[in-house]
Chains A and B, each alone.
Chain A
Amino acid sequence: MVLEMPDDVLRKAIFETELLALVVTSSLTLSMFLIADATIGLTVENYGLTLTVLRAFELVSAVTWLVFSVSMFREINWLRKTHYRIFFLRKSEELDEKQKKSETTELVMNMIGFYRDNYLKFTVVMTLAIGVSFLIVMTVTFLLFTGSMSLWVAVFRWAVNAFMLMIASVLYVYIHRSWRRKLLKVKEAEKKLSEMLGGPVEA
């Protein structure tokens, strides 16, 4: 069955890009917040070598996360610009049905390209963030039980790192499920396309 609804696809693609823009903006904010938290922790706290090393890890992962978020933010803004150009061309009825379909397909290809370029990087950064925040929660618990940290400081640290753990986990699950599913479908379709072209083609 041939799809005749690029309008619907365009709307969904725009929605997904806006959602991504929101996610990346919160990711930017969170990484900056983490840099501040790790820096304060490193300069003010004095709970022994273990927590200092973990704080250093936190700082490194937060900086990596920030760099990655900035690059993603730029790419998403480029995607948004192309989406809105097509959206307004469609509104002003400057495109016929065939052009609309071609433009929408190109837009979807750009999104898949974005997923392909960023999937692995995103997974690695999120795994790092989950690992570091989990270790900090564990270390704070240990310091609390050994009496090296007061309850209120521990509660504050738990809250900060549990928030980071939660956001990183939600992002990881969303990206892993949504992007991976789409990338696998494209990979599967490539087999059929390569048959039409008489074998696999390298770019």
Chain B
Amino acid sequence: MKPKRTAYEIVWKILDYCKAPRRLTNVMQSCNLNTPTAKKYLDLLIFKQMLSMNDENYKTTKEGLKYLELIEEVYLRLFH
């Protein structure tokens, strides 16, 4: 029943969830992703320095928070 998400919305979900350090399995469950898709997004976000990885835990960086702020502003403004 959940509507389909765009890649940018999936990135938002991952970064929002990883505000606290999270493991890969938790990210997959929370964001409803399979392993290859989750790894594809996580690798991209680490490459863009929006996520950092420490002891197999992923955490959103300052760069990631900037993305969150931008996308939240766009979506919230639609109903403001």
Contacts and interface: CB of A to CB of B under 8 A. Distances in A.
A117 B12 CA distance: 19
Given A5-B80, A105-B72, A112-B75, A74 B7 contact: no
Interface residues of A, number: 42
B9 to A, nearest CB: 5
Contacts of B8: 190, 193-194, 197, 201
A185 B3 CA distance: 18
Contact of A3 (B1, B3, B73): B73
B4 A193 contact: no
A113 B80 contact: no
A1 B77 CA distance: 11
Given A194-B8, A201-B11, A2 B74 contact: no
A197 B78 contact: no
Contact of B48 (A6, A105, A109, A197): A197
A203 B5 contact: yes
Interface in A163-193: 182, 185-186, 189-190, 192-193
A201 B7 contact: yes
A109 B44 contact: no
Contact of A113 (B3, B69, B79): B3
B5 A9 contact: no
Interface residues of B, number: 32
A97 to B, nearest CB: 12
Contacts of B71: 105, 189, 193
A201 B48 CA distance: 13
Interface in B1-25: 1-13, 16, 19
Contact of B76 (A9, A192, A201): A9
Nearest to A202: B7
A18 to B, nearest CB: 13
B15 to A, nearest CB: 10
A8 B80 contact: yes
Interface string A33-46: 00000000000000
A53 B3 CA distance: 37
Given A5-B80, A105-B72, A113 B16 contact: no
Interface in A90-131: 98, 101-102, 104-106, 108-114, 116-117
8 contacts: A5-B80, A109-B5, A109-B9, A109-B75, A112-B75, A114-B3, A185-B77, A201-B8
